[in-house]
Structure formats: C-alpha cells, structure tokens
Structure 1
Amino acid sequence: MKRVEALLSLSREHHQALVVASRLGRLDDREALTACWRQLGETFFGPLRVHFDEEEHWILPLLPEGGELASRLLGDHRELRRLMDGREPAQWRAFGRCLKEHVRFEEKCLFEWLQMHYSSEQLLAAQCVET
C-alpha cells in the first residue's frame, strides 16, 4: 500500500534503519563492528530515540488501548533502547536483528492498519496535535 503523506517521513527513516541493520549483520570483524557501533552512537541513536518518541506520542494514541499493535510498538521500542546500551558484539548484532524486524512490523502491520482506519487528513491532524 502506498504511504500517505503523514507517514512518509517515518517510512523514510525506516529505510535508513534497514540500512543500519543490514550493515550490522554483514560485519564479521570485531574491530569493524566496534567502529560501526561507535559511529552509530554518534550519528544514529539520537535521531532513532526521537523517532521512537514521535511514534509513541503521535501514533500510540491512535491505536486500540491495550491491543497487540500498541503492545508490540512499545515492547520493541523498549528492547531496542535497551540494546542501544549494549557493550558486546552479540548485543550489537541483536540490535540489528531486532531493528530489522521492528521496521518490518511497522511498515507491514502498523502503518497498514493506520491507513485502513484513518484518512490521510486525520493522520495529519493527529500528527500536528501530538508533535
């Protein structure tokens, strides 16, 4: 399904997240992985936290309270935040896997649900109120 205007910026950020997840999955060398993780800490984690906050303040109120979509959104964000503090390569690789699965969930389930239940105008209006 084509993305409505209100969700386009988040979808673009999801593309960048998939690039990061793929990069983490390809690195075998501990030194290269460490350098990559350090760079992500300097350039990617801050905007990713902002992305999570935006989704939680804007999208979460649109979801059925206590439902599976809301639970998954919050659970994934909590786990990804925890993994961002990881100090070992196994945690960094787990972050990449979790990030990839989370983006797939949002694009294929969450955003599809939003577009089926809200018009583009409703999503834009909610975005303006919540952000």
Structure 2
Amino acid sequence: MFFEPGSSSLSSSDRWVYHVFLSFRGEDKRKNFTDHLYEALKRSGIRTFRDDDELPSGQEISPQLEKAIQESRISIVIMECRDTIGQIVLQLFYDIDPSDVRKQTGSFAEALKVHEERFKNEKEKVYWWRNVLEGRC
C-alpha cells in the first residue's frame, strides 16, 4: 500500500509533521533495507522521519524520538501507536515468511519464548504482542 504525495490520506494537518516514522533495529536492516525504503519514500515526496541513532534493546526512547513518533501519520511498525494516537501501522516482513509471524512458528516462536522469559512479570505485554502478530488486534 502506497500513498500519493499530497493525497487526502496523507495531507498535512496541525497534528502530522511527517507522513511516515521509520525506525528499525539492526545493522543490516539499517544499512540496506531501511536505507532503500527511506530513499524510495523520499523520492516519492513522502515526508519521512528516520531514526538514525540505533536504540539499544531495552532502553527508553528519547523525548525527541517520542515526539517524532507522535507527529507521524504512519509508523513502520510500532503497534501501540495505532491504538493510542490513531496512526496507520504497516507491518513489513523482511527476510521472513509472514506465516511464521502470524502462526508464531520458526524464529518468531523462539523470539516470543525469549520475550516471555524477559517479561515474565508483564505477561499481558507478551499476550498482546501475540494477538497483534496473529492479526487479532
């Protein structure tokens, strides 16, 4: 799904400074996939905020980064923003079979087990992630 620059679905308003907030963790994605996506969005005239500083896992995001997220019409991919501030959220799958995500098999099953251990005192968070990945939310 792509939007035409200036279309009503991405028109400027007082609330949206950026059309898209783009942030991915991981060196390979940041230097390959994310760069290509960012350049394609930019060439299309889509105002995109790209987080250039890699946020280490488990660290809090800065107030400036949180502001950029809230000022973006679309996030790729932060699911909480869909519910809390009404953003459109696009799920992108890079080098993975989307059925592994939805069915939570393969590497996604392993990652969720790690998260269940890491967030054992916040089980509702992992339950919510599972529902989102299955397409229930």
Q: Which has the higher helix share?
A: 1
Question: TM-score normalized by structure 1?
Answer: 0.25
Q: Could you say which structure has the greater relative contact order, defined with CA pairs below 8 angstroms and 6 or more residues apart?
A: 1
Question: TM-score normalized by structure 2?
Answer: 0.25
